[in-house]
Chains A and B, each alone.
Chain A
Amino acid sequence: MSKNAKLFLGVAVLYLATGLLISWNQALFILNFALVSAIMALGVNIQWGYAGLFNTGIMGFAALGGLSVALVATPPVREAWAAGGTGILAGLGIGLATLAAGITLWKRMVPGRNRALALTLVLLAGFVIFRMVFDPAVTAVEAVNPSVSGNLGGLGLPVLLAWPLGGLLAALAAWGIGKTALGLRSDYLAIATLGIAEIIVAVMKNEDWLARGVKMMNVQQRPWPVPFEVDLQANPTFLNLANSLGFDPVTGSSILVKLTYMAMILAVLAGIIWLSERALNSPWGRMMRAIRDNEDAARAMGKDVTRRHLQVFILGSALAGVAGAILTSMDGILNPGTYQPLRFTFLIWVMVIIGGSGNNWGAVLGSLLIGWLWLIVETLGPTVMSGITAGMADGPLKAHLVDSAQHMRLLTMGVILLLVLRFSPRGLIPEK
């Protein structure tokens, strides 16, 4: 058996042990989390492993994917559209037109004081008109039934459509970001994308008309690809099955739902791996690696490095968008407050680097391993800590140690990342 198969087998044993020793429900929960992360990790791998782009804005693209679930699957709020829909659309149009005018001006005019002055004037005027059109519309929309909606709502389409559309939304954003930021050198690109991701999440938190902001949004109303646990527990066929096979219907329904999701995520993941592998081993993949290893030489061979970078940036970010959409539709709730860079950006990076950047299977393995570790430390940490502190007298110190044990996972991740970078910088499954 090859070394790689053994590694995957080892990870499988971890999940089986979790299922047998803790619960299958928990094991499946972790597995689904890891599989979704694997899609994001493949996105990072395409950007970093294939092309050497240092993108730390994964969180922003995942958040856009989540947003697309709300925009696609929830029913439209007709009153809100009547109150301010046109105003909001017009406002956004004016904003975009101002930006476009500014960019054209910047490109067409001769550099100098006149250009700077004209640009400032155009942007200022655009901003004032934008606020004049946009603000009253937003106030009107947010006043419509604020306790349950106060937003424009979505398109009312089946939620499965949100997965590809989430990718598309992220790709669109990546196009805009890539156009402006990709010329930067790598650590500036990292800082810029980190900032842009924060801006995206800030917009989602504050623009209540879009998806209710921090008031959160229930995205479970539309035709659902997976049955609800509650419906299953009321379904006589399912109850009979549970009786005859001898399992508890509550746990059983939860496990069945998770298994369905797992099958769907696996299907998406398999498709993406197949496509990425084909791309990696095609002339296109060779070209990308050539650009990564020596940009100047690739440019001298007539390769359009800027365009290729943009292309790969869009592809990788789209995958993060798809993963974000899957995650939100699985949670059934869109809460912009949960998007945190440690979890959505840096953890994915740890997965890719530990798995082996430049290798798709490495990224998947890294996600399964690190995803498991990330969640299992949360579950087991307090237990282990109570074991360690069992000899201590009860008191604030002991309580504090047990409480904070779940933060062990940050420390563990950091130490693992540093060890891998130092002693095995090519990761568990190195690039071929």
Chain B
Amino acid sequence: MDILNALVAFLNFVFIPGLTYGAQLALGALGVTLIYGILRFSNFAHGDTMAFGTMVTILVTWWFQSIGITAGILPTALLALPFGIAATAALVLATDKAVYQFYRRQKASPTILVIVSMGVMFVMNGIVRLIIGVDDQNFADGGRFLISAGEFKSATGLAEGLAIKGTQAVTVITAFVVVAALFWFLQKTRTGKSMRAFSDNEDLALLSGINPDRVVQVTWILAAALATIAGVLYGLDKSFRPFTYFQLLLPIFAAAIVGGLGSPLGAIAGGFVIAFSEVVLTYAWKKVVTYVLPESLAPDGLLQLMATDYKFAVSFAILILVLLFMPTGLFKGKSF
């Protein structure tokens, strides 16, 4: 019985939050990795692209709510999501035309492109703060809990409750569908194949008649869609605040690099590695351990490896370790 309680506590406080956060990071990291694979630079503006997409989605959600459209048990934001994606795609395509295209034609070095993306980051950050402000925005509605702790306790008779928030379920399912669709697109469609060819060997791809402009455009649209979905899921699960999204850039980069920049599969693995390490290292294990160990061995301390405030530090520490010892990442991305 105690083992069961320990398992439920583990699921409730470690596994489910880690899975949800991991799914959000994986989607963000997929966008970063796609841009790196095709356009060959680390996009510092990705966090703010996420913020922009989420902002548009929030605005449309509010509009829907005000005219009485809701998605029933699901969050209304899911209905607004396509609008967010469309607006973000338009924004990044315009940015590409106005800004990045020039440097691509010049064959500028990746470092210059990173600095340029810093400029884009400032602009997008400014736009988001100008339109929606800097405060927390909560836009989650629909069913609160899939399973609530009380129901679970009375149904199973266990001392520990298991709560699954609606937004957590929505995050995991949406992420799964999006990733499946993305991989289908990359593996099966003509455009997806040409993208992979372009990423593998640009010259060879150009030689075989692949239109580079089209590949770049599709990449930006995919990145915008992934960024918006990741941002909205994160915002539904926690809350939306422009500054938090800027900070998310770092765990997302960590996830993409840990998995191997340029490798979509790696981005997903990296997202979960980062998320679970953050949760596992900052969770106070006392509760779980108390259930498993006999009473005489019960721990005195919280058994917390690090204070919760060091969550971000954990992801950077892993990032730095991977950069030093395994620069191509888990899935052999492009190191040079």
Chain A interface (Cβ < 8 Å from any Cβ of B): 54, 127, 135, 180-181, 183-188, 190-192, 194-196, 198-199, 202-203, 205-206, 341-342, 346, 349-350, 353, 400, 403-404, 407-415, 417-418, 421-422, 425
Contacts and interface: CB of A to CB of B under 8 A. Distances in A.
B126 A410 contact: yes
Contacts of A403: 133
Contact of A414 (B119, B301, B313): B119
A206 B129 contact: no
Contacts of A54: 111, 114
Nearest to A197: B316
Contacts of B312: 198-199, 202
A190 B121 CA distance: 15
Nearest to A181: B320
Contacts of A407: 126, 129-130, 134
A164 B82 CA distance: 55
B122 interface: yes
Given A180-B324, A342-B246, A410 B115 contact: no
A196 B320 contact: yes
A198 B313 contact: yes
B163 to A, nearest CB: 28
A422 B130 contact: no
A54 B247 CA distance: 19
Contacts of B125: 342, 410, 414
Nearest to B308: A206
B309 A205 contact: yes
Contacts of B118: 346, 349, 417
B104 to A, nearest CB: 13
B96 to A, nearest CB: 13
A109 to B, nearest CB: 14
Contacts of A203: 313
Nearest to A405: B130
B67 to A, nearest CB: 18
Contact of A413 (B115, B122, B301): B122
Interface in B72-130: 99, 102, 110-112, 114-116, 118-127, 129-130
Nearest to A407: B129
Contact of A195 (B121, B320, B327): B320
Nearest to A421: B116
B323 interface: yes
Contacts of B186: none
Q: Which of B110, B116, B313 has the most CB of A within 10 A?
A: B313
B250 A181 contact: no
B319 interface: yes
B34 interface: no
Contact of A187 (B114, B124, B129, B319): B114
Nearest to A416: B119
Contact of A184 (B121, B129, B133, B327): B327
Contact of B313 (A186, A199, A415): A199
B115 A414 contact: no
Contacts of B247: 198
Nearest to A412: B126
A181 B319 CA distance: 11
Nearest to A195: B316
The 10 closest A-B pairs by CB, nearest first: A414-B122, A411-B126, A195-B316, A410-B126, A414-B123, A407-B129, A417-B119, A418-B119, A187-B42, A206-B309
A412 B130 CA distance: 12
Contact of B42 (A190, A342, A414): A190
Given A54-B111, A417-B119, A188 B316 contact: no
A400 B110 CA distance: 38
B68 to A, nearest CB: 21
23 contacts: A180-B324, A181-B323, A183-B324, A184-B323, A186-B114, A187-B41, A187-B111, A188-B257, A188-B323, A192-B316, A192-B323, A194-B250, A195-B250, A203-B313, A205-B309, A206-B307, A346-B118, A404-B131, A404-B133, A408-B130, A410-B129, A417-B118, A422-B99
Contacts of B130: 404, 407-408, 411
Contacts of A187: 41-42, 110-111, 114
Given A196-B320, A206-B307, A188 B250 contact: no
A196 B315 CA distance: 11
Contacts of B319: 191-192, 195
B247 to A, nearest CB: 8
Given A191-B42, A413-B126, A421-B112, 5 more contacts: A181-B324, A185-B336, A196-B320, A198-B247, A404-B130
A191 B257 contact: yes
B127 to A, nearest CB: 6
Contacts of B116: 418, 421
A192 B320 contact: yes
B129 A198 contact: no
